[in-house]
């Protein structure tokens, strides 16, 4: 990959996992032995002999980010990187992950390869979402477009009830869902919540989005794959109960009747260091296909 020089490496360690901390110590010593600066979140900085930085600052300053944990840990830091597109290497604490695509035994070798410039990245599309109520943006934290790497989800709050959602694509009426909710997913997120809702597995470097209804009342409401440049608008039509909006599993807003959720392709992409393992190998491993 043609990229700027790597002068600092951010280590993001899954909290409460001693194995992750131990691997992080070894990587920190290896990286510092190359004359590079190591950055880490304050909770782990002393143990890693690294300079302490809170996650948003680490995401803004590190030239390379190494994540020791699962896909959730990687998603947390990936949302913060933004337009810098600093390369992210995911080291899975178990086998392979859908996002963390290297094993622990491959950690030092993978970092060495990147520092030598022998790597490529997958630039994955992201999503952005905002909530409007009576024409104005609402909810603390929803005053601007918020990023999601995996998915934007509208979900019912009450067990045993369904919600009505009217969906528009580029301003054109698309579908009316009566369901438990709706998932708008990136290809990266197609192996997450959308998969459990019956959505397709999408090759992760494609530029498309997936709409997957959750337990639709109408059986002909099927998941669909759409061009990534379509602007999706979802209007909440249920008058008698609330819904919630979550991005990558984080609840960011409570939705009421008439609220409009706008979803679009994000301005930034996530640059994940390409795995030496093929996507087909990862799918076979994680989904137990072979």
Domain ranges of the chain: 8-120+274-287, 126-267
Say if residue 120's pLDDT is above 60: yes
Same topology for domains 8-120+274-287 and 126-267, yes or no?
A: no
Cβ atoms of 289 and 214 closer than 8 Å = no
CATH superfamily label, 8-120+274-287: Probable inorganic polyphosphate/atp-NAD kinase; domain 1 (3.40.50.10330)
Q: What is the rounded CA–CA span in Å between residue 27 and residue 112?
A: 10
46 is catalytic: no
pTM of the shown model: 0.91
The per-residue pLDDT for range 145-167, each reduced to its tens digit, is 899 999 999 998 877 788 999 99
- Among 46, 49, 63, 71, the one annotated catalytic: 71
Architecture of domain 126-267: Sandwich (2.60)
Q: What distance, in Å, lies between the first and last C-alpha atoms of the chain?
A: 32
Helices 18-33 and 107-115 cross at an angle (nearest 10°) of 30
- Considering only CA atoms, which of 113, 74, 117 is closest in space to residue 96? 74
The per-residue pLDDT for range 251-285, each reduced to its tens digit, is 988 999 999 999 999 999 999 999 888 889 888 88
């Amino acid at each position: 990959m043609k990229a700027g020089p790597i002068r600092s490496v951010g280590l993001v360690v899954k909290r409460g996992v001693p194995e992750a901390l131990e691997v992080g110590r070894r990587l920190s010593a290896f990286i510092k032995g190359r004359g590079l600066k190591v950055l880490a979140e304050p909770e782990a900085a002393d143990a890693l002999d690294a300079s302490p930085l809170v996650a948003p600052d680490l995401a803004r300053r590190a030239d390379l980010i190494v994540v020791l944990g699962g896909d959730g840990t990687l998603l947390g830091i990936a949302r913060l990187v933004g337009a810098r597109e600093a390369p992210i290497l995911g080291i899975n604490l178990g086998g392979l992950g859908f996002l963390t695509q290297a094993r622990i035994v491959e950690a030092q070798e993978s970092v060495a390869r990147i520092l030598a410039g022998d790597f490529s990245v997958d630039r994955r599309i992201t999503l952005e979402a905002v909530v409007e109520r009576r024409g104005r943006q609402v909810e603390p934290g929803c005053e601007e477009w918020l990023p999601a790497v995996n998915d934007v989800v509208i979900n019912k709050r009450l067990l045993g009830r369904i919600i009505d959602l009217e969906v528009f694509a580029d301003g054109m009426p698309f579908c009316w869902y009566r369901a438990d909710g709706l998932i708008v997913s990136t290809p990266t997120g197609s192996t997450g919540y959308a998969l459990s809702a019956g959505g397709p597995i999408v090759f992760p470097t494609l530029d498309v989005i997936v709409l997957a209804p959750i337990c639709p009342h109408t059986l002909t409401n099927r998941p669909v794959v759409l061009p990534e440049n379509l602007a999706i608008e979802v209007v909440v039509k249920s008058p008698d109960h609330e819904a919630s909006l979550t991005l990558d599993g984080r609840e960011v807003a409570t939705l009421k009747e008439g609220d409009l959720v706008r979803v679009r392709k994000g301005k930034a992409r996530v640059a994940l260091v390409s795995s030496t393992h093929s996507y087909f190998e990862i799918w076979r491993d994680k989904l137990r296909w072979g």
